[in-house]
Structures are given as C-alpha cells and as structure tokens.
Structure 1
C-alpha cells in the first residue's frame, strides 16, 4: 500500500489486543449506568475502527457474534443488534481503503453515515416489533460516536506506533 507523506509506519496489530479492545468495548456497553437514547455504542465504534484498519481479522462474522451477545444481554429482539453490527461492519470494510487516505477528522465525518444507518436499523426493527419511539435524542448517538472517532483512533493505534529512531541502516 502506498503511504501518504508524513504518515508514520505502524507495527502489525496484535490479535490479542484487537479482541481485548472489542471485549472491553462490549463490557463498556454493558455497564449498568442506565441506557439513554443519546449514549454512544462503544462496541459499534470499535467494530468500525477494526473493520477499517484490520478488515481481514475483524469482519462481518465477528460483528454478528458480538451483536448476538449484545441482544442477549439487553434482552432485545434477537438479531436486532446483530443485523445492525453486521451491516455496519460490511460498509466499513467496503470503504476502508478510501477512508484511510483521509485525515482522522475527515474520517470522523465520513463514518457518521455508517453510525446513522446502524442506529436507524436498530430503531426500525424495534418499531416494527411493536416498541416505542425512544425520542429525537436518539439522533445524538451517531454524532457522539463520530465525535469519539479521533479519540478511539489515537487510543487503539497507540500500541502500533513505531519508535522514531531511524539511522543510516534503518531508514524507516
């Protein structure tokens, strides 16, 4: 892959770190702090991040399994989050090559429609099953998730940063 000028060379991602970050994000979603409509979905955010940065390691199957786990935990309609996460992961993998050419703030703007679509799928399934409309504050969740994209990008890429100590034998 051709790298942009000034972009740092990253070490390979550790698979244990990838899965650990996904499990921590799922546990953050499961904290008993009260579920409000505008609260960001941390698991969706981390799933999109790893689907963009490591599409061969984290794919649609992992998103489906995590979605089923969230459905079981929240006692929601089985498959509601699984469908939303699967769709989210599919579209993140679809745009991952194009997305990585942009700066992190530009990436945040471009992943906003993905988060809007995921929340729209969840809400549509909830409403079709006879649930109640959670209110217009549900529109804030994708915006908050998109605003958290730069923070998540910095935190999850931190272990992959290579120490900048080039010399004449190791120019990279």
Structure 2
C-alpha cells in the first residue's frame, strides 16, 4: 500500500525554540560516562537544518555550541566549531537528504554527526594530547539511530490529518 503523503503545516518558531531548549536540557542531564548518551543538541540541529534551513542556521548552532561549551567546561569554542560545521553541512545537504525515506536518511545523518565528533576529538587531541578512544564515536551512532524517532516527534505538530474532516477549514 502507498503511504499517505502528508502536507506539512508551517512550523512555529516557538516550537523550534522549545525543541532546542529540550535538547539542551537533555544534554545537561547527568548521563554519566558509562553509557553512550547521544548529543541531543547536535541531533536537533541536524534535524532543523535539514527540515527548516531558513529558520535554524549557523548562528543558532554557534550560540548553542557556546552554551554547551560552558556547560561541559570544555574549551570555549570546541562545541561551537563542531555545531557550526554540522549545521553548515546539514543545510548544504538538506535537499538531498529529504529525497530519501527516514530510515535511509540515517546513512546521511551518521557521517554528519561523526564529522562533528571528529572535530571535537581533534580539538581535544591538539590541546591535551590524549586520545579518548574509539568508544567516543558510539554517541554518533546512537544519535543516528534516534533519527527516525526525532523525525516522528519533531514533525508531529506539523502533520495534517489523513482523513479529511469537512467541519475543519484545513
């Protein structure tokens, strides 16, 4: 059977801000260093960079990166640089990514998230000289696997009803 083609409503800037705030709060939770907690801010930046490139851009990514730098007590600009590059490449590839199904989009999102983590690792390696290990990159894999869930949650307020209701104007 063919899946219904949804016509999405315009996204509210308040919903974008709310989703970014939720991502920052999820990143600030004390997950511990024993589990591979994904970078929710990076995942949300990729999502909005792909779906709404005119509303969430490089400036937003830079500001959120500075906020996460302060929270993580890392080098000032480490996350900002990674998120800026992540947002740039997500915006650059947004038309290509949207052509694919959500499950196939994971193959496009994973290299973007790996690139951001590689930038963070290189900055840490240049400053401290310590290699964090290959387990460091599991966060990107977990975040990429969360892509379908993030797509479902963040597009839910924009979906129109499949069954047309004649009492509603839209």
Q: Same fold (TM over 0.5)?
A: yes
Q: After superposition, what is the alpha-carbon deviation per residue over 1:45-66, rounded to whole angstroms, capped at 9, x for unaligned?
A: 0010001100000000000000
Aligned in 2, Cα 1:159/1:131: closer, same or farther, shift over 3 Å? farther
Q: Which residue of 2 aligns with 1:30?
A: 28
- Report if the CA contact (8 A) 1:29-1:42 is conserved: yes
Matched residues, number: 168
Q: Does 1:13 align with 2:16?
A: no
Counterparts of 1:85-100 in structure 2, within 5 Å, are 85-100=83-98
Whole-Å Cα distance in 2 between the matches of residues 86 and 37 of structure 1?
A: 26
TM alignment of 1:104-143, pairs within 5 A: 104-143=102-141
Contact kept, 8 Å, 1:37 with 1:135, in 2: the verdict is no
Equivalent residue number for residue 151 of structure 2: 153
Distance 1:29 1:167, change over 3 A: closer
The question of whether the paired residues in 2 share the 8 Å contact of 1:59 and 1:90 is answered with: yes
Distance 2:86 2:64 in 1: 12
Please, which of 50, 63, 66 is the counterpart of residue 65 of structure 1?
63
- Alignment root-mean-square deviation, CA: 2.1
Which ranges in structure 2 are unaligned for 5 or more consecutive residues? Answer: none
| TM-score, length basis structure 2 | 0.91
In structure 1, C-alpha distance between the alignment counterparts of 2:132 and 2:37, rounded to whole Å: 12
Q: In 1, distance between residues paired with 2:122 and 2:34?
A: 17
Q: What residue ranges of structure 1 are gaps of 5+ in the alignment?
A: none
